[in-house]
Structures are given as C-alpha cells and as structure tokens.
Structure 1
Amino acid sequence: MKMNIVNVLMGAAAALIFLSLTMFVVDQRQSAIVLQLGEMVEVKTVPGLYFKIPLIQNVRYFDSRILTMDSTEPERYITAEKKNVMVDAFVKWRIDDVKQYYITVGGDEVRAKTRLMQTVNSVMREEFGRRTINDVVSGERDKIMEILRQKADADARKIGVQVLDVRLKRVDFPTEISESVYRRMDAERKRVANELRATGNADSEKIRADADRQREETLADAYRDAQKLKGDGDAKAAAIYAAAFGRNPEFYSFYRSMDAYTQSFKNKSDVMVLDPSSTFFKYLKSSNDVGK
C-alpha cells in the first residue's frame, strides 16, 4: 500500500515537471520566440499561456515596452556655417517586428542600440550640415527632430524596430567657444548698460537744469512783484506824508523830529556827537524855552 502511494506521488511529481517544461507564459510586456534546435519556429506576441516541446524547444523573451536610448556624452556636429556645436539627444524606440529583430541583430539589444545610434548620428550630421546655428538652436529645432525621427524610423524598420521619437535635449557650443561667446555677451551687456546709464545721466542733468531755470524764473517774478508792491506802497506813503505836510507843516515836522528822537535814543548806550546849535535839537530847545 505504501509503495503504491509513493509511486503515485512520484508519478504526479513527474507529471508536474513535464507540464512545467511544456508550458510557458507571455505577459503583456513581452513578446516571445519559440526556437527548435536553434531554429525559429513560432512567434508569440499575444499575452497568454502556451505550450512547447520540452528539451527540443526553448523560448526567448523580448521586451515590447518603449525603451530609451540616451547618449552618455554630447556629440560634436558642424553646422552650415562651419561652427561646432555640442548636441545631447535621446531616442524612444521599441521592438515592432520580433521575427525581423531576431533575424537581423540576433535579438541582441546592444547591437540594436548601436545600429540605431549610428543611424541617428548620420542623419544628425546631414541635417546640421544644412542649417545655421540659429536654426538648430531655436529656428527649426522641431522640424529637425521630426526629420530625424522619420529617417531613423525608416532605417530602424529594417531590423524590426520602430523609432517613436528623437529629442534634442541640449544644443550648445563647445567649452572653448562658449567662454568666448559669454565674454562677448558680457561685454555687449556692459556696453548697453553704460549707454543707458549715460542717457539717464543726460536726462537727469536736463531735468535738473530745467528745474533750476524754473526756480530762477519764479524767484525773479516774485521779486519783481514784490518790488512793484513795495514801490506802490512807498508811493502811497509818500503821498500820505505829502498830504499831511501840506495840511500842517509844523506838526509834520514836529512828528518827524519826535520819531527821530525815539529812534536815536532808543538804547541807553547810544551816543551821538552833534553841534548844540544843530537843527536836530530844534524842538528840544523849544521845549526848554517854554519851560523857562
């Protein structure tokens, strides 16, 4: 009885092993090729469970997702102006025809990338050689990338690969040229800044001169008006004095003398040296005569 159970278990294990050797799974991210003694017999691109002949047939899997090929270092290209530019680019690609991919490059991804890179570099040298620096930097950059994609894709189809996109990440001058360009740009910016600064100073001086002129004109007008008012006042005062003097000359003379005495002897320290017979003391003498 025990031997029967052991035999059954061994048979079941052998059956499982045999089934595992005959079955293989292809998921949605893969494509597969069934090889029989090294020869390709079948291609599986639809996800699912499949069977193969154990020991005689084997399966190779290939990634069907979109892959990225990025350059490790920027490549040097020459434009139509014979100027060097450094270009950093990347390529988006995927395996489109697994059978053709296996036949042409043996299913080797490294060989496929080498072929793609050679194609892209060749097309880029051709396209950059037709255009100026301005075109490759900004003017026709989108157009160049589309041409690169089309030409690279046309060649990549020969090895069962589809090129989905070619992108120029950066287009720059070589280091030795960049430094010279930056120095020229810096000098140009400084020149423009100096011109703007000189223009600003000239405008400032002009505004300041105009303000000074307006100030002088305003002061002159004010002084003129003040002098006119002062002259009118003096004329009116003289007229009043003349009218008063005409009415009572003696009183007017007396009033003027009293005002002169007040102004002359306003401070105790004031000293005047005059002849006693001077007319300045006329009314002082008259008051003394009256007192006597």
Structure 2
Amino acid sequence: MNRIVALVAVIVVLLLVASSTVFVVDPRHVAIVSSGDGAPTLANPGLHVKLPPPLQTTTLIDTRIQSFDAADADRFTTSDKTELLVNPVIRYRVSDALKLFAATNGDPQTLSDRLSSLSRDALGDAFAKFTLADALSQQQKLTDAARDTLKEAAAPLGIEVLGVSLTRVDYPSELAETVFKRMSAAREQVAADERAQGAAEAQQVKDDAARKRDALLADAYSQAQAIKGEGDGKAAAIAAEAFGRDPQFYQFYQSLQAYRNSFRPGDVIVVDSSSDFFRFMRSAYGDAASAPAATPRRH
C-alpha cells in the first residue's frame, strides 16, 4: 500500500514538473522566456520546453493589432492659444517583443502609461502647429503628423504605431461660449466680405451694361441722324423739283400745311383777313389777278 501511494506521489510530481516545463504559444502571441541571471529569449508560436519556475518564467505578448484609448480627455493648445479637450485612440502592434519586455517587463499597465505619455507629447506638438480653424477642418493632416511623431517615439518600446484618431474634439466648458462668439463673429465677417464682393461685382456688371447701352444708343442715334439727314436731303430735292415744275401749286400746298399747323378745332383767332397769310383762303390761286384766263368752251 505504501508503495502505491509513493508511486502516485512520484507520478504527480513528474506531471507537475512536466506541465511547468512544457508550454504552447498560440499564433496570436509570442512568449518571452526569462531567468534570473540570463538574457530573455523569444519563443514563437508552437510547442516549447523550459526550466521549471523559478528557474525560468514565460510572459505572453499579444502581437495582434491593438487599440489604446485614453480614459480621460487631455487638454491641448492650438497655435492661436485656444484650448481643446481631446480623446485620442492609438492603433499599434508589437513589432519587437524583446524590446517591449525590456522596457516594460511585460507589464500592461506600464505599457499603457508609456503610450499615454508619448501620445500626449505627440498630439501636443501637432496641435501647437495648427490654428483652431485648421485643427477642426484639417483633422486628418493633424493626426498624421501626430502619428509620425509618436511612431518615432514608440519605436524604442518595440511598438509600431499604425494610426492616430480623435474620438472627441471639444471646448472646455469655461471657454465654449467665448469660442462660439469668436467663431460667430468670424463667420459674420466672412459673410459681410462676401456680400461686399458680390455688391461690387454686381455694380461692375451694371456699369458695363450701362456703358454698352450708351454706346448702342449713341450709335443708333448717329445712324438715325444720318438716315434722317439723307431723307431730309431727298425730301428737299423732291420739293425743289416740285417747286420748279409748278411754283404756284407748291405755294398753295405750303400754305395748306401752315393752316393745318396753325389752327386747331375750337380755336378762336382774331386776325386781319386781308393778311397775305390768308391769300389762299381768298383765292385758290392766292391772287385773283394771277388766276388763269378761262378757256373758251367749244360746242
């Protein structure tokens, strides 16, 4: 009986020793095998053997892409001295597990603290290069600059920074109203400038249209005067020709035109009927003495 108990005890001890010396690393991790006086070694995914603790210990390092999200918002100041509350998210992966173990001893909290400090410095440098308006409108450019700075700073930790994004960009409560008023004033100034520019352009269009209209009217008037002058010349030539053919009829026609222009319906005029102006009212020939002799009629 004692022999059986002893055999069971030996088997249990052997199993315990075997379980502490054989370990498996899955594809999502690598393992750091460390001892008290020796340099740590890297164990890639697969089955491995080590000395039992405390001679050697293993620390698993996750090699997948991970995200670090700061619990609290940090304050950053833009180049125009405006404070913003920002929550960054850092995407990274472990590129050198041995460097990470040397820097943090495999402690996740130490890694979080280091990343928080490095990201705060990188974002602080980035925001200091942008005005408030640019920080809000060119956020991708800002985060790319922060990523490049953080990537260089995190390389000694064995960390490869893949990206930086901002989940919150806000104003501190004590500054929000002041900033909103300043932004509103800036937008109003831009609107006023746009309206002034539009009014100037509209006036320019009106002035151009007025100049073109005046030029067209002047040209049309010039052409009309030329046509009128040509017509008056032809009319004068026709009148002169008609006067030459029958001076008596021309005088009669001119007198009729003068009567038409001088008298209107309902007018009462007191004049001397013997005036020369009325000679064609007294006689169709203007002067009885000038009437042609009657032509004798033939029977």
Question: Would you say same fold, with TM above 0.5?
Answer: yes
CA-CA distance at 1:181 after TM superposition: 4.3
Note the 1:84-233 alignment, pairs <5 A.
84-91=83-90, 92-94=92-94, 96-98=96-98, 101=101, 104-105=104-105, 107-122=106-121, 124-125=123-124, 127=125, 131-134=128-131, 137=135, 145-154=147-156, 157=157, 161-165=158-162, 167=164, 169=166, 174=171, 176=176, 178-233=179-234
**Aligned position for 2:274:** none
Q: Across the two proteins, how many residue pairs are aligned to each other?
A: 247
**Aligned position for 2:238:** 237
8 Å contact kept, 1:30–1:45: no
Query: What is the distance in 2 between the residues matched to 1:120 and 1:190?
Result: 38
**Aligned position for 2:271:** none
After TM superposition, the score normalised by the length of structure 1 is 0.60
**Aligned position for 2:31:** 32
Query: What is the distance in 2 between the residues matched to 1:173 and 1:121?
Result: 16
Query: What is the distance in 2 between the residues matched to 1:73 and 1:172?
Result: 12
Alignment RMSD: 5.1
Structure 2 regions of 5+ residues with no counterpart? Answer: 1-10, 257-277
Query: What is the distance in 1 between the residues matched to 2:202 and 2:39?
Result: 86
- Cα gap change, 1:94 to 1:34, in 2 (>3 Å): closer
CA-CA distance at 1:279 after TM superposition: 2.0
8 Å contact kept, 2:25–2:45: yes
8 Å contact kept, 2:32–2:97: no
Q: Establish whether residue 280 from structure 1 lines up as the match of residue 277 from structure 2.
A: no
CA-to-partner distance for each residue in 1:94-131, whole Å, 9 max, x for gaps? 263359638945x3424421332134324554x369x4
Q: Which amino acid aligns with 1:150?
A: E
Query: What is the distance in 1 between the residues matched to 2:116 and 2:167?
Result: 17
- Cα gap change, 1:291 to 1:86, in 2 (>3 Å): farther
Query: What is the distance in 2 between the residues matched to 1:63 and 1:119?
Result: 20
Q: Which amino acid aligns with 2:227?
A: A
Query: What is the distance in 2 between the residues matched to 1:32 and 1:240?
Result: 127
Query: What is the distance in 2 between the residues matched to 1:170 and 1:81?
Result: 22
Query: What is the distance in 1 between the residues matched to 2:70 and 2:294?
Result: 125
3-state SS, counterpart of residue 85 of structure 1: strand
8 Å contact kept, 1:85–1:174: yes
3-state SS, counterpart of residue 133 of structure 1: coil
CA-CA distance at 1:184 after TM superposition: 3.0
After TM superposition, the score normalised by the length of structure 2 is 0.59
Query: What is the distance in 2 between the residues matched to 1:208 and 1:49?
Result: 89
CA-to-partner distance for each residue in 1:11-40, whole Å, 9 max, x for gaps? xxx9xx95994753223331125689x999
Q: Which amino acid aligns with 2:27?
A: Q
**Aligned position for 1:48:** 46
Query: What is the distance in 2 between the residues matched to 1:238 and 1:115?
Result: 113
CA-CA distance at 1:86 after TM superposition: 3.9
CA-CA distance at 1:54 after TM superposition: 8.5
Identity across matched positions, percent: 17
Query: What is the distance in 2 between the residues matched to 1:163 and 1:115?
Result: 14
CA-to-partner distance for each residue in 1:167-200, whole Å, 9 max, x for gaps? 3648966261652343133112212211122212
